[in-house]
Amino acid sequence: MTPRNVADAVPLLAGAFDQPFGNASVVPAYFCARHAHAHGITRMLAGDGGDELFGGNSRYATQQLFSWYEHVPVSLRRFVLEPAAAHLGVGRKLLPVRKLFRYVEQATVPMPDRIEEYNLLKRVGPRNVVSASLLDDVDESRPLALLREIYGETLARSLINRMLALDFRITLFDSDLPKVNGACDIANVEVAYPLLDDELLAFSLRLEPSFKLRGTRLRYFFKKALRGFLPPEVLTKQKHGFGLPFGVWLQSDARLKSIAAESLSGLRDRGLINPSFVNNLSS
C-alpha cells in the first residue's frame, strides 16, 4: 500500500458508501478484495467476529488492568492514592509517577465511560471541531448515554463478556462489517463470515470468561484449542490489522494533503465543521 493507492481509493469509496464512514482500514480491505477478484476469486471468507467471540482486542487487556484497581481497599484509594495522584505537582515529570497518575486517573472512571477516554473528539472538544450551529441541534450526551444503555442491559457479570457484548453492537455491526461488506461489494467479490455462525456464537457464550481473557492474555481458549493444529508462529505472532500510517502520509504526500484539505474545506463551507479547526490544521 502506498499514499497513491489511498488517494486513488478515497473518492471511489466515499461515493460508494451510503453514509460518512471513518474506518480507515476500508482502503486496504478494498485493495485486498480487488486483488482477489483480479485472480478469479469470487468469494472470500472474513475473520471478523473472532475477536468478539474469543477476546482478541488489546483494549480488553487494557481495561482488565484498570479493573484491578477496584480491588484496592476503598479507604486506600480514596484517602491515599487518589489525593496523591491529584497533587503530584512537579513529580508528574518523572515517568513512573506520571504513569501512576494516569493509571489512577483512568481507573477511577467507570465503564463504559472509560473507553471514551481515548475518543479524539472528546479530547479535543466537540465544539472545537464541529460547528456550533450544528451542535445546537444535537444532543451531545447521547452517544455516551447509548453506550451506557447497551453496557448496562447486558446480563453478563464479567468485564470481558460485557465488553464483548458492547463490541458486537458497536464495533462489529456499526464499523467492521460495513467496512468489509462495502469494500468487497465495490470489488465485486462476495464475502462470508464463518466466525459469526450461530452455533459458534452460542458456543462462545458458554465459555468461561477466563477462557477468553486469562489475566491479560488474549484469545486464551482459541490459542489452546488450536495448539498442534496451527503452526506455533501463527499462534504467537503479534496481531496485525489493516492499519496504515495515514498521519505520516498526510504530512508528506501532496496529493493526499490536497484531498484532505479540499474535503475539510467543503465541510466548513457547508457549516458542518468549525472554521478555526480547519484553519489550524492547514497552518
pLDDT by residue (tens digit) across 233-259? 988 888 777 888 888 998 899 999 999
159 pLDDT higher than 70? yes
pLDDT class of 94 with cuts at 50, 70, 90: low
Place of cell 488450536: 226
Cα–Cα nearest to 14, from 2, 1, 27: 27
Q: Which CATH superfamily is domain 3-58+122-244 in?
A: HUPs (3.40.50.620)
All 3 cell numbers of residue 244? 496504515
Task: Give start and end residues of each alpha helix (H) in 112-242.
Answer: 120-124, 126-129, 132-135, 142-153, 159-167, 177-186, 198-206, 209-212, 220-225, 232-236
- Computed over every residue of the chain, the mean pLDDT equals 90
Boundaries of every domain in the chain:
3-58+122-244
Does residue 206 register a pLDDT over 80?
yes
The CB density around residue 231, as the number of other CB atoms within 10 Å, is 10
Average pLDDT over residues 87-98: 64
More confident residue, 59 or 80: 59
Q: What is the pLDDT of residue 243?
A: 82
